[in-house]
Amino acid sequence: MENLEWLNEYLKESKTGEPLPYYPNLGFAVEEYEEYLALSQNIQMFKKSEGRIEITRKDSKVIINGYENINFLSNIEIDLIKNTVKTNYGVCKFKRKIKASDKQKVIGRWNGYEWTLEMNLESFDLANIDENTIAKWISVSIGKLEETNDIIMYIEIKLVENLTKTNEHELITFQHN
């Protein structure tokens, strides 16, 4: 991306949950950006599959494993003392508490917590990577929906490694017994 430095500064100044105002450096025409904002208000969530998860507690750790169609969740380990979340891609540190908001339109209002791992983010500019470049951005959020009391887990993984870019995300909802 040509304007990566500008974009990073622009994003720092933005307010969480608010759409970014139009600016020509975004690379969109004004009409395209307005259409993008309008479409972003109509995002819906659909069930992709069903599966089974196992949650166990061992001392101060909660271990989550997914089975069947949600193997993506395997080997998640929440350390309740260190307040970290270990994934197959690295250890995420506590970032913030999430408070329910009317801006949470896709899945509804929810409260929870987020942990992240951010490493070498400037390397996501794929024009400047080589075989030694490693970049990671991992986010794990866990919380509870206000309306149904269902538990939600959202995991997003962005990696650059071995000249390959990975961008995966998964949203899981389940009832807590």
Q: Find which of 19-28, 37-46, 53-62, 158-167 is predicted with most confidence, using mean pLDDT.
A: 53-62
- pLDDT, one tens digit per residue, over 98-157 is 999 888 777 889 999 999 988 776 655 656 667 777 778 889 999 999 999 988 888 888
Q: Put the strands of the sheet holding 134-145 in their side by side order.
A: 51-58, 61-68, 76-79, 84-87, 90-98, 110-119, 134-145, 151-161, 164-174
pLDDT attached to residue 59: 93
Q: Is the pLDDT of residue 7 over 70?
A: no
Q: Is the pLDDT of residue 3 over 70?
A: no
Average pLDDT value over all residues in the chain: 79
pLDDT classification of 88: cutoffs 50, 70, 90:
confident
Q: Strand, coil or helix: what is 13?
A: helix
Q: Report the pLDDT averaged over residues 65-89.
A: 84
pLDDT attached to residue 62: 93
**CA–CA dist 174, 177 (Å, integer):** 9
Among 47-56, 73-82, 83-92, 127-136, the range scoring the smallest mean pLDDT is: 127-136
